[in-house]
A and B are shown apart, each in its own frame.
Chain A
Amino acid sequence: DQQVKQNSPSLSVQEGRISILNCDYTNSMFDYFLWYKKYPAEGPTFLISISSIKDKNEDGRFTVFLNKSAKHLSLHIVPSQPGDSAVYFCAAPYYGGATNKLIFGTGTLLAVQP
């Protein structure tokens, strides 16, 4: 059962335009979400997070929006740059039982065209 879902495997955007990456979750117990960015041949790196007590968190060109009623979050990148081309994963810490592991989505490959 995929508790964190990224239904778009890929997204192509023109440089300077907005990129919107989407993530859905099924577990209403999730109260914190993270976005990771991954370049080829490198490990994922943390990008931005949001707590469920907020509906928006902004860091420079990156903004994450959380809609708890829809169990949906999105990452907005404005303006998009070629260096943003990477795979983006959303993730949530799972507190079931004794575990504090992260559950990752399947990722979205963003290609920003010059």
Chain B
Amino acid sequence: DAEITQSPRHKITETGRQVTLACHQTWNHNNMFWYRQDLGHGLRLIHYSYGVQDTNKGEVSDGYSVSRSNTEDLPLTLESAASSQTSVYFCASSESGREQQYFGPGTRLTVT
């Protein structure tokens, strides 16, 4: 069965460190998204990609970057982790922008 996976599921890191969160989907979807979930804010879009070599900034992109070298993967990098980036991160993919997005299980990141 097709799926979307994220790793690690939990990560604790120190302020200033570079961190990369992995996202892998086997749906063969062109569209991939990264969100963060915070209390009182719901899900907010960080970055998204509509295909290989395409990346776009979302509403809360500062301090984050992504790269898309193949269809299956969209890793999210925190260049220099900050305490404000402590959150739960979700990756998602979809066949089109209008259709439902399929979400991964999430990565809980704590920056100390």
Contacts and interface: CB of A to CB of B under 8 A. Distances in A.
Interface of A: 6, 32, 34, 36, 41-46, 49, 89, 91, 93, 95, 98-102, 104-107
Given A99-B56, A101-B48, A46 B41 contact: no
Contacts of A41: 105-106
7 contacts: A6-B42, A43-B4, A44-B90, A46-B101, A89-B43, A99-B97, A102-B33
A43 B104 contact: yes
A89 B92 CA distance: 15
Interface residues of B, number: 26
B97 A43 contact: no
Contacts of A44: 43, 90, 103
Interface of B: 4, 31, 33, 35, 40-45, 48, 50, 56, 58, 90, 92, 96-98, 100-106
Nearest to A51: B98
Nearest to B41: A106
Given A41-B106, A100-B97, A102-B101, 15 more contacts: A32-B98, A43-B90, A44-B43, A44-B90, A44-B103, A45-B103, A46-B102, A49-B100, A89-B42, A98-B56, A102-B33, A102-B45, A104-B42, A106-B40, A107-B42
Contacts of A42: 105-106
A60 to B, nearest CB: 17
Nearest to B9: A41
Given A43-B90, A99-B56, A34 B42 contact: no
A34 B100 contact: yes
A6 B105 CA distance: 23
Contact of B97 (A45, A93, A105): A93
